[in-house]
């Protein structure tokens, strides 16, 4: 399946990079974001890997990667990455 990253999720990933470069060394930051990217790419082959959450509409799932959660929606032939948020962040507001 094709994976599409929403503008909000893209901004989340950029913020994670910025935070990492401010707090960690380059190698640690690059490795962390690479792991997030692998998680997102893995969804292409295994879209059901993430779990559903009772707080969210049925089509939405969440997958953990490090200290972050990748929120996504499975549509006909694509996966939309909705947000990538730290585990301590509030759940995103998602309209079905």
What is the domain-level CATH number for residue 34? 3.30.2310.20
What's the CA gap between 60 and 65, in Å, rounded?
17
Task: Tell me the mean pLDDT in the region 22-43.
Answer: 95
Pure H helices in the chain: 7-23, 26-45
Residue 51 located in a structural domain? yes
Number of domains within the chain: 1
Residue 19 located in a structural domain? yes
Say whether pTM exceeds 0.85.
yes
Residue 95 located in a structural domain? no
Residue 22 located in a structural domain? yes
Share of the chain above pLDDT 70, in %: 96
pLDDT for residue 55: 81
More confident residue, 54 or 71: 71
- Domain boundaries, position 50: 2-86
Q: Is 13 left (phi over 0), alpha (psi -120 to 50) or beta?
A: alpha
């Amino acid at each position: 399946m094709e994976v599409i990253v929403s503008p909000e999720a893209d901004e989340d990933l950029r913020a994670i990079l910025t935070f990492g470069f401010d707090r960690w060394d380059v190698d640690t930051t690059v490795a962390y974001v690479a792991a997030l990217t692998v998680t997102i790419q893995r969804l292409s082959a295994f879209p059901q890997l993430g779990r559903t959450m009772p707080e969210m509409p049925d089509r939405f799932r969440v997958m953990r990667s490090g200290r972050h959660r990748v929120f996504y929606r499975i549509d006909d032939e694509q996966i939309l990455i909705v947000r990538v948020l730290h585990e301590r962040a509030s759940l995103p507001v998602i309209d079905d």
